[in-house]
């Protein structure tokens, strides 16, 4: 019989996956999470496909061996589009990726004019065309790619002030084109939801975090691992590891979120040049 609560590995290029983490812990507070932020290679959206693929597989396999998770969440849209098939063929552990919530946008948009706000790499992916064709074929979809917003989300959690003028310029195309629903296609962007809502109060800003949490619950049940609450002696602590140094402010925020063990500057584990 399993002696510990279910535990999952949650991987992102930085702090964006914390938006997924919060939804998972809201639904499944008893499970243990190891959060890995590969901030030494941030942002993934500006790296080559081969670099992202090799890096994500390498990191996932490392923690699969040393942490032995019951489930892995690749909490990054860019990495999900590239690495999922290879990861799933290399392990028997269930792998969950992140898909932009275009289906939801197609269901709720009244104007039939929707937007996708993601990294430059994600907005150009063929699978975005396929998602739109499958779930929002009667909608006009405006795509906006932004790397600045990844940096802004990282800066926000590190305690820096946000440049609201820059943020407004990033989303200006949506404000000017009668877009009523925008999909946040990067897990960093929900961390800016409050600011986005203030700049675009008539827009529905939606993301995939709730759907991912529901998928985690479903797969844990399928493995007969879902049994809450677990005895306190079997409860897993939440840990966070980053491949580069993090700020004291971010460290404190992670503690507030519930992480009991936090390590940074772990780049020595991965023999990659993030600028390659």
* Residues acting as catalytic residues: 76, 186
Distance CA 219, CA 92 (A): 13
The b/e string for 144-169 (b: 16+ C-beta within 10 A; e otherwise) is bbbbebbbbbbbbbeeeeeeeeebee
- Is the Cβ–Cβ distance between 235 and 211 less than 8 Å? no
- Packing angle, helices 209-222 and 18-27, rounded to 10: 50
**What does the block give as tokens for 147?**
């790397």
Distance CA 251, CA 241 (A): 11
Distance CA 154, CA 148 (A): 10
DSSP state of 231: P
Q: For residue 269, is it left (φ>0), alpha (ψ between -120 and 50) or beta?
A: alpha
- Is the Cβ–Cβ distance between 119 and 143 less than 8 Å? no
Distance CA 62, CA 136 (A): 38
């Amino acid at each position: 019989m399993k002696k510990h609560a279910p535990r999952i590995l949650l991987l992102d290029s930085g702090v964006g996956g914390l938006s997924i983490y919060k939804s998972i812990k809201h639904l499944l507070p008893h499970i243990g999470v190891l959060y890995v932020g590969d901030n030494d290679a941030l942002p993934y959206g500006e790296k080559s496909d081969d670099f992202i693929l090799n890096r994500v597989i390498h990191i996932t396999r490392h923690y699969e061996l040393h942490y032995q998770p019951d489930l892995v969440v690749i909490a990054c849209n860019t990495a999900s589009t590239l690495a999922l098939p290879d990861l799933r063929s290399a392990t028997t552990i269930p792998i969950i990726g992140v898909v932009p919530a275009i289906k939801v946008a197609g269901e709720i948009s009244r104007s039939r004019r929707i937007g996708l706000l993601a990294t430059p790499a994600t907005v150009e992916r063929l699978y975005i065309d396929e998602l739109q064709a499958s779930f929002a074929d009667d909608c006009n979809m405006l795509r906006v790619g932004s790397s600045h917003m990844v940096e802004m989300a990282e800066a926000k959690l590190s305690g820096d002030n946000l440049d609201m003028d820059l943020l407004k310029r990033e989303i200006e195309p949506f404000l000017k084109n009668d877009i009523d629903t925008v999909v946040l296609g990067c897990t960093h962007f929900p961390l800016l939801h409050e600011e986005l809502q203030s700049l675009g109060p008539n827009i529905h800003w939606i993301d995939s975090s709730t759907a991912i949490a529901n998928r985690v619950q479903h797969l844990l049940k399928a493995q007969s691992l879902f049994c809450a609450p677990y005895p306190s002696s079997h409860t897993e602590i939440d840990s966070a590891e980053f491949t580069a140094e993090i700020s004291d402010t971010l460290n404190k925020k992670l503690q507030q979120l519930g992480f009991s063990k936090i390590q940074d500057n772990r780049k020595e584990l991965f023999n990659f040049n993030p600028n390659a």
